[in-house]
């Protein structure tokens, strides 16, 4: 992954069309490297989670070009790269496994990252997840505890309890969440390790039950 990190770091320092055009062959090699890794990761994850079998790399990856229509920041390119491996692809609305690499500028997230779960959740689905968290607190806690070394991300949450739940609920802080994701930060040494693919696969396997809990609540509304 060294070539990927090198590219992202250089792009962060030269985020303009002129530099990108002059380094298109560099980006092509980076894209091929990341997509080859993603393809292998899909295969590995499908061995313990059959719901993501038959996904293609295109189903899970994103364009490097930023959407500038509603942004004050007009830099044209993302300085991060990621793969979201979830049932039926990244646009399905289901929870999945996310592998994220970031430039040293940390302009998007604070670090390289593994994440499992769902974000930007519509209100009706969010309510369905919260209902399951409320009625099945021990199961939800168990899903979290199985993911040793991970933590549930509480950055995006309500300040007060949703009105439909009692304030004294045993898992009150979880019921305030707007995103339901487990995350694990990675450093450069982790990303550059020779056995990165195996390590990432093993980490994601720890979070499968959490993903299943979230997706059961999502698909209950189908």
76/69 Cα distance (integer angstroms): 11
pLDDT value of residue 55: 97
Q: Would the pLDDT of 195 be above 90?
A: yes
- Give the CATH number for residue 81: 3.30.930
Give Cα 51 to chain centroid, integer Å. 17
Give the range of the structural domain holding residue 156, as residue numbers without chain letter. 2-219
Going by pLDDT thresholds of 50, 70 and 90, the confidence category of residue 137 is very high
pLDDT value of residue 74: 86
Q: What angle do CA 118, 180, 149 make, to 5 degrees?
A: 105
pLDDT value of residue 68: 83
Going by pLDDT thresholds of 50, 70 and 90, the confidence category of residue 108 is confident
- 181 CB-contact burial (10 Å; exposed 0-12 / middle 13-18 / buried 19+): buried
Which run of H or of E encompasses 184?
strand 180-186
pLDDT digits (tens, 9 = 90+) for 197-207: 999 999 999 99
- pTM score of the predicted model: 0.95
pLDDT value of residue 62: 97
Q: Average pLDDT of 121-127?
A: 95
Number of domains composing the chain: 1
109/155 Cα distance (integer angstroms): 12
Exposure string over 71-105, b if 16+ CB within 10 A, otherwise e: eeeeeebbbbbbbbbbbebbeebbbbbbbbbbbee
Backbone angles phi, psi at 48, to 5 degrees: -110, -15
Sign of CA dihedral 188, 198, 47, 59: positive
Beta-carbon contacts of 33 under 8 Å, excluding residues fewer than 6 positions away, are: 1, 3, 4
């Amino acid at each position: 992954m060294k070539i990927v990190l090198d590219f992202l770091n250089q792009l962060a320092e030269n985020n303009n069309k002129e530099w990108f055009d002059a380094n298109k062959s560099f980006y092509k090699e980076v894209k091929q490297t990341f997509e080859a890794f993603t393809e292998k990761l899909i295969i590995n994850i499908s061995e313990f989670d059959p719901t993501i079998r038959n996904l293609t790399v295109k189903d899970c990856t994103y364009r490097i070009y930023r959407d500038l229509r509603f942004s004050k920041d007009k830099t044209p390119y993302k300085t991060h790269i990621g793969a979201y491996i979830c049932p039926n692809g990244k646009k399905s609305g289901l929870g999945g496994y996310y592998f994220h690499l970031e430039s040293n500028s940390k302009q998007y997230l604070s670090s390289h990252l593994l994440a499992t779960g769902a974000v930007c959740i519509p209100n009706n689905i969010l309510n369905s997840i919260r209902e399951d968290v409320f009625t099945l607190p021990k199961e939800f806690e168990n899903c979290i505890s199985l993911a040793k070394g991970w933590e549930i991300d509480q950055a995006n949450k309500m300040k007060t309890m949703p009105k439909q739940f009692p304030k004294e609920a045993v898992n009150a802080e979880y019921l305030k969440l707007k995103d339901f994701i487990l995350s694990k930060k990675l450093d450069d040494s982790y990303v550059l390790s020779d056995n990165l693919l195996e390590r990432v696969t093993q980490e994601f396997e720890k979070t499968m039950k959490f993903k299943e809990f979230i997706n059961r609540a999502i698909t209950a509304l189908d």
